[in-house]
Amino acid sequence: MTEVLNPFRIAQQQLDTAAEKLGLDDATHELLRWPMHELKVTMPVRMEDGTTRVFHGFRIRHNTARGPAKGGIRWHPDETVNTVRALATWMTWKTAVVDIPLGGGKGGVVCNPKELTDTEKERLARAYVRALGKTLGVTKDVPAPDVYTTPQIMAWMMDEYETLTGEHHPGVITGKPIPLGGSHGRGDATARGGIYVVREAAKSLGIDLQDATMVIQGFGNAGQHAARIGHELLGMKLVAASDSKGGVYNSKGIDVEVLIDHKIRTGHVNGFAHADAISNEELLELETAVLFPAALENVITRKNASRINCTILCELANGPTTPEADDILYEKGIFVLPDFLANAGGVTVSYLEQVQNTYNLYWNLEEIHFRLKDTMRRAFNSVSEMSRNNTVHMRNAAYLVAVARVAEACKLRGWV
């Protein structure tokens, strides 16, 4: 079972399916199966009690044929190199499927940020940038926030990089605070991009989402924004939400803002007065129009896929569905919006942030939303057309679009 749920093996398996369908030659296929650059770092950090603690981290660039590597930095106690490899690989496909000129990268630090003070977080952030040395840069590799990292952590990282280089390089890190060159619209970009593709999917399926139900597994940053934007833009009704501590359910609907306020005050959704308790496992199997897996990997597997009961499954998390589960969902007629399409809004606005930093010209929120919506609409249409033309489910179609674009770039460069 461990081998089946290894996220990097899953990423390779998904590529293998696309490579066979595309008829990729062996060299191109093998090149795309592996990261092109991996760095493991060991970082001693002085803690506030005077002791020194040693942290381990990673930075992996999967493929840069289409442009500099792009990808977030995760701080998680269970971080593994295989998770980072998989996420770097998915970032390659993500930037390609929305057709922005970037490659795929990812970083991670094995730590529990909930146990660190702000001072310790700053020291760890700066230590990570120092450890990576000259491998970062606007023409090489551009990190961003991810699980348990924040705009403030990105600010510390950017400042450390500029201290090392002696120059201003705001574009070396995205997801920064707006006063330091961050972009309007970055905070909710992942969720907003997901809502945009849900709207396109509903149009293609002939579904009216006004007053339709939504369920969110993972009520963190992306999940909260999805609930809010899903209600504001599509008129959807939140009926269940969960986090690592458990979930809540009310078939009549949950006031999104009241639940968000409860989450902010208590740190979890448990104990919310206006809903009943429900487990994460039960929540995933609720009947609903749209299910948003917005937490971590491998929550929908061959064990529970047959009991998933939604019309549209929008993957705001990375890798929430295993390949075996994909086949089951497809047979059930569930319309899956795969992660590297559905959650590509974040990297899209990160790219827009890089562009603004480069030109020192900044757009307002309306302009960012317009550019994001247009990008996500075009990406959905490309994948949907590929799905229809090849009679494959949307994940396979997204892979066919993305892998073909990256493979072409590799061949044009003469790498294979």
CATH no. for residue 202? Answer: 3.40.50.720
Give the number of other CB atoms < 10 A from CB of residue 39.
15
Chain centre to alpha carbon of residue 379: 16
| Euclidean distance between CA atoms 329 and 333, whole angstroms | 6
Q: Is the pLDDT of residue 247 over 90?
A: yes
2 confidence band (pLDDT: 50, 70, 90) = very low
Last residue of a domain, one of 180, 205, 229: 180
Residue 387 φ then ψ, to 5°: -65, -45
The CATH number of the domain holding residue 122 is 3.40.50.10860
Q: Are residues 56 and 128 in the same domain?
A: yes
For residue 302, what pLDDT is reported? 92
Tell me how far CA of residue 86 lies from CA of 9, 34, 73, 79, in angstroms.
8, 9, 13, 12
Q: Are residues 114 and 25 in the same domain?
A: no
| Euclidean distance between CA atoms 138 and 146, whole angstroms | 19
pLDDT above 90 covers a percentage of the chain that reads 92
Contact, 66 vs 103, CB < 8 A? yes
Alpha-helical runs (H) found in 297-361: 323-332, 339-342, 345-359
E strands, 246-334, in order: 246-249, 276-278, 287-293, 309-314
| Euclidean distance between CA atoms 71 and 36, whole angstroms | 15
pLDDT tens digit string along 178-206?
999 999 999 999 999 999 999 999 999 99
Q: Is the pLDDT of residue 344 over 50?
A: yes
Average pLDDT over residues 278-282: 93
Q: Is the pLDDT of residue 1 over 50?
A: no
Residues 6+ apart with CB under 8 A from 388: none
Contact, 10 vs 319, CB < 8 A? yes
In the beta sheet, which residues pair with residue 46? Answer: 52
| Euclidean distance between CA atoms 346 and 230, whole angstroms | 16
| Euclidean distance between CA atoms 46 and 184, whole angstroms | 35
| Euclidean distance between CA atoms 60 and 164, whole angstroms | 21
Q: Are residues 95 and 44 in the same domain?
A: yes
For residue 228, what pLDDT is reported? 97
Q: Are residues 97 and 194 in the same domain?
A: no
113 confidence band (pLDDT: 50, 70, 90) = very high
Q: Are residues 22 and 51 in the same domain?
A: no
Q: What is the mean pLDDT of the chain?
A: 95
| Euclidean distance between CA atoms 276 and 204, whole angstroms | 34
For residue 318, what pLDDT is reported? 84
127: domain range?
A: 37-180
Q: Are residues 143 and 188 in the same domain?
A: no
Q: Is the pLDDT of residue 265 over 60?
A: yes
For residue 349, what pLDDT is reported? 97
Q: Are residues 171 and 83 in the same domain?
A: yes
E strands, 33-127, in order: 37-46, 52-63, 69-76, 103-110
Average pLDDT over residues 308-328: 93
Q: Are residues 161 and 200 in the same domain?
A: no
Q: Is the pLDDT of residue 213 over 80?
A: yes
| Euclidean distance between CA atoms 332 and 17, whole angstroms | 20
What is the value of pTM for the model shown?
Answer: 0.92
Last residue of a domain, one of 141, 162, 180: 180
For residue 10, what pLDDT is reported? 87
**Amino acid of residue 358:** T
Last residue of a domain, one of 152, 180, 208: 180
- Residue 148 has which token pair? 């348990």
Residue holding tokens 């970082």?
A: 43
Q: Are residues 278 and 384 in the same domain?
A: yes
296 confidence band (pLDDT: 50, 70, 90) = confident
pLDDT tens digit string along 118-133?
999 999 999 999 999 8
Burial class of residue 364, CB neighbours in 10 A (0-12, 13-18, 19+): exposed
For residue 410, what pLDDT is reported? 98
In the beta sheet, which residues pair with residue 70? Answer: 104, 142
Residue 106 designated active-site: yes
Q: Are residues 138 and 150 in the same domain?
A: yes
Instruction: Catalytic residue, from 94, 106, 121, 237: name it.
Output: 106
Tell me how far CA of residue 357 lies from CA of 55, 66, 126, 164, 360, in angstroms.
31, 20, 21, 19, 5
Q: Are residues 311 and 376 in the same domain?
A: yes
Q: Is the pLDDT of residue 3 over 50?
A: no
For residue 147, what pLDDT is reported? 85
Tell me how far CA of residue 69 lies from CA of 297, 317, 319, in angstroms.
22, 20, 19
Number of domains in the chain: 2
pLDDT tens digit string along 357-411?
999 999 999 999 999 999 999 999 999 999 999 999 999 999 999 999 999 999 9
Residue 42 φ then ψ, to 5°: -120, 125
For residue 297, what pLDDT is reported? 76
Q: Are residues 134 and 257 in the same domain?
A: no
In the beta sheet, which residues pair with residue 81? Answer: none
| Euclidean distance between CA atoms 253 and 240, whole angstroms | 8
114 confidence band (pLDDT: 50, 70, 90) = very high
